[in-house]
Amino acid sequence: MAIGWLTVLQSVPWTEVVSNAPKVAAGARKLWAAVGRKPHAGAQVADATEAALSPEARAITTLTAHVSELETATKELQEQMLASSELIKALAEQNTQLILRIETQRRRMAWLAGALVLVGMAALASLVLLLAR
């Protein structure tokens, strides 16, 4: 069982994994920074001028502030979605490369197994011929 894992680990294109690691890590850091931001506090309006506004004007000002906050949050979410999409794309490409390499190694192992069987049969045939003399 350990030999199977060793073969799988040897077939991984580690140079490509290592060369892509900084891009993946940078994307993860960027995504974490975007997601890890604390939400902005609501706009606190404590001006004396606002106190003088009518209730309707205060309601409109409050609604305008909420809409502005929601637009900002939506924009941040879109940026986070783009960053996560880029990261997922990089990981998917790396996964595809790994799968292709593993499939190539599997085919090589099948060919080697077939060649080993043929060499074993030839060795057995030559042993039988030597013993038959």
What's the number of domains the chain is made of? 1
Three-class DSSP category at 37: coil
In a domain, 131, yes or no: no
The pLDDT tens digits of the residues spanning 87-104 come to 888 888 888 888 888 899
Domain of residue 91: give its range.
2-33+54-106
- The C-alpha atoms of residue 74 and residue 77 are separated, in whole angstroms, by 5
In a domain, 78, yes or no: yes
Task: Report whether pLDDT(43) > 50.
Answer: no
In a domain, 122, yes or no: no
Q: Of residues 129 and 19, which shows the higher confidence score?
A: 129
Alpha helix segments (H runs only) across 14-54: 14-36, 48-51
